[in-house]
Amino acid sequence: MPHADNPLLQAHDLPPFARIQARHFSPALDRILAESRAQVAHIIKTQAAFPTWDDLVLAMDEIHTRLEGFDALLDLLASARSGDAWAQASLDCTERLHDFQRWLRQHPELFQLYQRLADSQIAQHFEPARTRVLEKILRQFRQNSLAHTSRPDLDALKRRIKGAEQLFLENLHKANNAWSKTFDNESELSGLPSAFKQQMARQAREAGHTGWRLALSDESFGIVTGYADNRLLRQALYVAYSTRASDQGPHAGQFDNGKVLQQLLDDRHQYATALGYANFAQMALEPEQAESAEQVTTFLRGQLALHQSAFAKETEQLKAFARLQGFSELQPWDYPYLTEKLRQQAAGTSRHALSAWFPLASTFTQLLLIATELFGVDFIERQEVATWHPEVRLFEVREWDQLIGYLYFDPFDDANRNGYPNTTTLRNRSITAEGRPRYPIAILHGWLPRGSGAQPAVLDHLQLRILFHEFGHCLHHLLTRAEYREISGITDLSRDTSEFAGMLLEQWCFSKPCLVRVSKHYQTGAAMPEKVADQLLTFANTQASWETAVLLRNALFDMELHRTHGDGRSVQQVFDQVNAHTGHLPVFVNERWPNGLDYMVTGYAAKIYAYAWSKEWALSVLERFKRDGLFNPATGRALRETVFGPGDSRPLSESIAAFIGTPPVNAPAAKPEDRGVAPSSLN
């Protein structure tokens, strides 16, 4: 294929989605890799005598930007489009691309050039943002080049780790697909929402059956255990879900992640100790705001202690309610069901009735308007620009009528894809050596259920929180003023930093003025009355301790597992002990929750704590908004300038301190690399 005909090799501000086909990727990658190798050789040759910022750092940034953009685009389209051609394109390109990126991260001559620049006299006068960029680059080199120069076998070990993580997800996906139940009698589905039953009927037809088909997924687990009056159905789904990919349950021994997880932990520990770390947790926490695994563990245990009284109160409240409902003995699959009933009783309304006030289309419009009011930016929809799916919406983000970034909104789930709500990026903000801006691109994948017939897509309170949370990530990415790729994008932040903006914006969902503002009944168009908003908040805050307990348990388990690996305990033993320490949560003897905990293999290993940690910081910031007004433009702009604007040019704790006037809760002291000093374990 002539290069001039390949859209992936042509300059563009936004990907030309209408023109891109699977066959374009492999020849484009051939050209990109060849050109990148030549550019690297030229940089090494010309910078050998005297490395400079523009001709080393920014020149290499051009290469990394091109490679990362290609990778992000391939990942997006290969997951969004079905067919053998797209699977083959991913197979042909992904490993080659990642091998080349690994080669760059392990290149000893590049490492030496960056180190010489950092040690030079001119670097002593760099602005803090440039110093931070060099610190991050050198830290990445140390974690990778040591494996390349002193232990070649560690490169193979790292590949094995990636393979095990992928196998874990594949096993989980197969376990989900292996289980289903078909129903001919609708009475067995009593209590389930009508929209969910319609979805089950559609899935049955697609599978060639009549009646209703129940599949195994996060969504079905939450809905069935929360709503199904049929106790045996709740039990069947609970057992299947809690034993997925394990040696227990209806598919015991098939797709078993037990050995996969154990080998993964062994390999992670071996890799970390070979690089001079005490354990994988210490290595994982090096770029984080948290100082150590011990500090994280102390924080999480402190959070548990703070919530014990609420745990005890809500447990007794639920058991008393259960007795009134005729339950003599509670099983784990009864707790979500009774919790939902108790919430309805306390609020005087149902989750379904409350969701009618939040149709997705108008709610998202109001969310954009809130961002406009708080941060002074406008979102201009570009319907004439092609995207990768007709339902995906594109917005230009403008400030003072000047373009500053792009937002794609990909709202709905897809039965042909295995996904979850998340935010991805196609490009970080940066300024080239010639002074040209590259505008950031964020994608909000809502993974929300579609409407049907006269019923549009509507959001319950949890889905509303998810929408706000993911939009917070998008704002964090789009509103930065940082000029360098390594410190401007959310994918380059530490986990306990990147979760902050999502956790912060999510808190608006617990504010009555915000709920009223974003609401619009899908049938009448009326805004939510304050009385109904009070009911919603009562519903959301009743029996909320179960969500807190699961988060703290999983975070403690994750940290304990990676911090104490090799002490003789199995994965399940660690989980059982942490679960017992957490208390509050019901236990079924054959549960194998670790085998389905995908956070362990999706970039959150030893970092699940980030959700609880960043929430505490978000609550500190929220106090100023409560004082000044949740929609106060001056406060919103102050947040943008002091927290979002600097990006990762300084620790988040410093940015928050600048915003609220005091260090946030649990703010650690400056780490060695934050002071420009390499950690001793890497010297």
**Contact at 8 Å (CB) between 455 and 466?**
no
pLDDT < 70: residue spans in the chain: 1-2, 145-152, 415-418, 665-683
Distance CA 357, CA 518 (A): 9
Amino acid 4: pLDDT: 78
User: What single DSSP character describes residue 414?
Assistant: -
Amino acid 642: pLDDT: 97
User: What single DSSP character describes residue 509?
Assistant: G
Look-up of token digits 């969500």: 547
Please work out, in degrees rounded to the nearest 5, the angle formed at the alpha carbon of residue 125 by the alpha carbons of 122 and 130. Answer: 95
CB-based contacts of 344, cutoff 8 Å, min separation 6: 350, 351, 539
**What one-character-per-residue DSSP string does 124-167 give?**
GG--HHHHHHHHHHHHHHHHHHHHHHT-THHHHHHHHHHHHHHH
Amino acid 346: pLDDT: 97
Nearest to 514 by CA among 490, 540, 496: 540
Count of alpha carbons within 13 angstroms of residue 423, beta-carbon side: 24
Distance CA 234, CA 181 (A): 12
- Beta bridge partners, 422, equal 445
Q: Which two tokens stand for residue 509?
A: 């969902």
Q: Which two tokens stand for residue 125?
A: 């006068």
Distance CA 239, CA 591 (A): 7
Name the CA radius of gyration of the chain, rounded: 26
Amino acid 150: pLDDT: 55
Helix axes 495-506, 652-660, angle to 10 degrees: 40
Distance CA 425, CA 404 (A): 15
User: What single DSSP character describes residue 10?
Assistant: S
Distance CA 545, CA 61 (A): 46
Nearest to 415 by CA among 199, 213, 267: 199
**What one-character-per-residue DSSP string does 320-343 give?**
HHHHHTT-SS--GGGHHHHHHHHH
CB-based contacts of 221, cutoff 8 Å, min separation 6: 237, 238, 241
Domains of the chain as residue ranges with CATH = 3-125 (no CATH), 179-242 (no CATH), 355-539 (1.10.1370.40)
Alpha carbon 373 to its chain centroid, in Å, reads 26
Query: Which conformational region is residue 453 in: left (phi greater than 0), alpha (psi within -120 to 50 degrees), or beta?
Result: left
**Contact at 8 Å (CB) between 559 and 495?**
no
Distance CA 72, CA 427 (A): 8
Distance CA 205, CA 217 (A): 18
pLDDT digits 0-9 by tens, 542-595: 999 999 999 999 999 999 999 999 999 999 999 999 999 999 999 888 999 999
Amino acid 679: pLDDT: 29
Query: Which conformational region is residue 425 in: left (phi greater than 0), alpha (psi within -120 to 50 degrees), or beta?
Result: beta
